[in-house]
């Protein structure tokens, strides 16, 4: 056998050996758990099925993949969130949940939103967040069509089960209102009963009681946070505008309509605020107080009235004096003989327009809205979830003030509705002017001028 023929024969044998070895390895190969989309062609799977992981669905349609959830932790705490997320994880074990939470989470996550790399689900609450701003910036998914098919456990359409309807942006829906809060005025019911102080029912009795407290207790009766003056705007002025001019006036104020701040109804409300300041009823140190400092001063009876939402008792639970008894009324800015006004302040849940896992995000949002978690929310937070017909008396863990406030809101007050939250681009300059009025640095005319300028700047964007 010559050398050339010999090497040719060896090459053929070597090639046959390699083919046999490769076939044997392929037959014995076992794919990793979870599979790899790149193996679909070799296994004969349809591409549409193998790509399901990228769409957050497994081969049988189960929800899977990484789900990022952002939620603000403030006065409501985070125990309810932990419970819901744990239950969701048990229901959808193929989902890997990443939580972004804390009191400063809105600021910490800002760069993610700006760079179009947001979390999938966001609970919009706390300083540094604005639902309207996020809608205007195109950051939230349009939920209008999807939400039509959502139902509660008993088959009732979710959209028909809200206490207060979702925010409306020209007929479009970008969020679902999770928390039904309402700003109101808090006082110590035990202290008032002991001192014989009248619980106000309108602005005249509000001023009268503050005068009695100032004289007898040597205090400035009213306090709020000057560092976050929107507490005063949302907590005292919105109800006053509703009581004075109804939903139409409230909408004009919130949407920045020209001339809204110059109306007679609004001017009278602002004159009432000025009267509080001129009488010395507003704490002179308000401008420097953050919200927890103002709340602590209230608990210590340095002040007697404070406008806050339902989160107050839960947020300050560790600091409440033993004999303190929370009392809540809708803010008494209404005229004598008129019912007190309530303006719901909703805390919504939304899905990011650029969500990486929209299917899991939708599954989570749908999972959260149930009567079971509505009752649980009141137990955990002392506040209300935005689902009607939930019997809070079923649970001994729901605080008495919440049951009483719920009855008061639903039976003895007039409810007015915002079309949506005020944009931060409008709310910030108006709030800044408001704190200047409350401190006596400007008068009503100058406040109205500044508010109209802010509305014009906002509407001209």
Q: Which of 27-31, 156-160, 301-305, 445-449 has the lowest mean pLDDT?
A: 27-31
Same-domain pairing of 361 and 323: no
Please check whether residue 399 lies inside any domain of the structure: no
Residues 69, 152: one domain? Answer: yes
Entry field: residues in the chain: 461
235: Cβ–Cβ under 8 A, 6 or more apart, which residues? 183, 184, 185, 224, 307, 308, 309, 331
Q: Are 132 and 210 within one domain?
A: no
Order of strands across the sheet that contains 176-182: 95-102, 65-72, 121-123, 344-351, 176-182, 384-385
In a domain, 20, yes or no: no
In a domain, 40, yes or no: no
Query: Is residue 76 assigned to a domain?
Result: yes
Is residue 104 a part of any domain in this protein? yes
Quick check: helix, strand or coil at residue 259? Answer: coil
270 and 288 in a single domain? The answer is yes
* pLDDT at residue 243, as a whole number: 93
- Structure pTM? 0.73
Is 23 within 8 Å of 13 (Cβ atoms)? no
In a domain, 203, yes or no: yes
Q: Are residues 198 and 220 in the same domain?
A: yes
Residue 31 lies in a domain: no
Do 232 and 291 share a structural domain?
yes
With respect to residue 52, please indicate whether it lies within any of the assigned structural domains: no
Tell me which residue range forms the domain holding 440.
184-342+417-459
Task: Report how many domains make up the chain.
Answer: 2
In 248-257, which positions are buried (b, 16+ CB within 10 angstroms) versus exposed (e)? ebbbbbbbbe
For residues 430 and 306, membership in a common domain is answered with: yes
DSSP secondary structure letter of residue 328:
E
Residues 293, 145 share a domain: no
Give the per-residue pLDDT at 394. Answer: 74
- The answer to whether residues 369 and 327 belong to one domain is no
Question: Quick one: pLDDT at residue 333?
Answer: 95
Residues 104 and 76 in one domain: yes
Spatial contact of 386 and 369, defined as CB atoms under 8 Å apart: no
Same domain, 111 and 232: no
Residues 294 and 381 in one domain: no
All residues at 6 or more sequence positions from 8 whose CB lies less than 8 Å from its CB, including other chains: none
Predicted pLDDT at 398: 86
What integer pLDDT is reported at residue 164 of this predicted model? 86
Tell me the per-residue pLDDT of 66-83, one tens digit each, with 9 for 90 and over. Answer: 999 999 999 899 999 999
Question: Which domain CATH number covers 316?
Answer: 3.40.190.10
Q: What whole-number distance in Å separates Cα of residue 76 and Cα of residue 85?
A: 16
Residue 383: per-residue pLDDT: 86
């Amino acid at each position: 056998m010559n050398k050339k023929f010999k090497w040719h024969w060896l090459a053929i044998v070597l090639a046959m050996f390699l083919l046999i070895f490769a076939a044997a390895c392929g037959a014995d190969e076992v794919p990793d758990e979870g599979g790899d989309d790149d193996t679909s062609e070799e296994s004969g799977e349809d591409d549409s099925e193998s790509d399901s992981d990228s769409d957050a669905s497994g081969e049988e349609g189960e929800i899977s993949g990484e789900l990022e959830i952002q939620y603000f932790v403030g006065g409501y705490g985070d125990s309810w969130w932990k419970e819901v997320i744990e239950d969701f994880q048990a229901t959808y074990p193929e989902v890997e949940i990443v939580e972004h939470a804390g009191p400063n989470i809105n600021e910490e996550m800002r760069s993610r939103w700006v760079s179009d790399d947001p979390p999938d689900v966001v609970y919009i609450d706390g300083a540094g967040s604005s639902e309207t701003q996020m809608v205007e910036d195109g950051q939230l998914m349009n939920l209008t069509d999807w939400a039509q098919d959502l139902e509660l456990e008993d088959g009732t359409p979710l959209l028909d089960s809200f206490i207060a309807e979702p925010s409306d942006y020209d007929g479009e829906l970008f969020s679902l209102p999770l928390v039904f809060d309402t700003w109101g005025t808090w006082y110590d019911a035990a202290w008032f009963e002991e001192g014989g102080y009248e619980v106000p029912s309108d602005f005249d009795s509000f001023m009268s009681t503050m005068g009695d407290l100032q004289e007898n207790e040597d205090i400035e009766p009213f306090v709020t946070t000057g560092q976050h003056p929107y507490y005063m705007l949302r907590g005292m002025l919105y109800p006053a505008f509703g009581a004075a001019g109804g939903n139409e006036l409230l909408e004009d104020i919130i949407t920045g309509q020209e001339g809204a701040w110059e109306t007679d109804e609004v001017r009278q409300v602002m004159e009432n605020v000025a009267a509080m300041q001129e009488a010395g009823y507003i704490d002179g140190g308000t401008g420097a107080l953050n919200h927890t400092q103002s709340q602590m001063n209230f608990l210590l009876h340095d002040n007697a009235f404070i406008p806050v939402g339902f989160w107050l008792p839960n947020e300050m639970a560790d600091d409440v004096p033993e004999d303190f008894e929370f009392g809540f009324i809708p803010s008494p800015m209404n005229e004598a003989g008129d019912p007190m006004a309530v303006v719901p302040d909703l805390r919504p849940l939304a899905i990011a327009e650029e969500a990486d896992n929209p299917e899991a995000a939708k599954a989570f949002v749908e999972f959260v809205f149930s009567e079971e978690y509505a009752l649980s929310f009141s137990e955990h937070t002392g506040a209300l979830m935005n689902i009607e017909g939930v019997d809070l008396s079923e649970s001994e863990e729901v605080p008495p003030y919440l049951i009483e406030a719920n009855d008061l809101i639903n039976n003895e007050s007039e409810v007015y509705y915002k079309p949506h939250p005020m944009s931060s681009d409008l709310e910030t300059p108006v709030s800044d002017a408001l704190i200047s009025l409350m401190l006596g640095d400007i008068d009503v005319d100058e406040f109205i001028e500044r508010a109209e300028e802010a509305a014009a700047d906002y509407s001209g964007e």
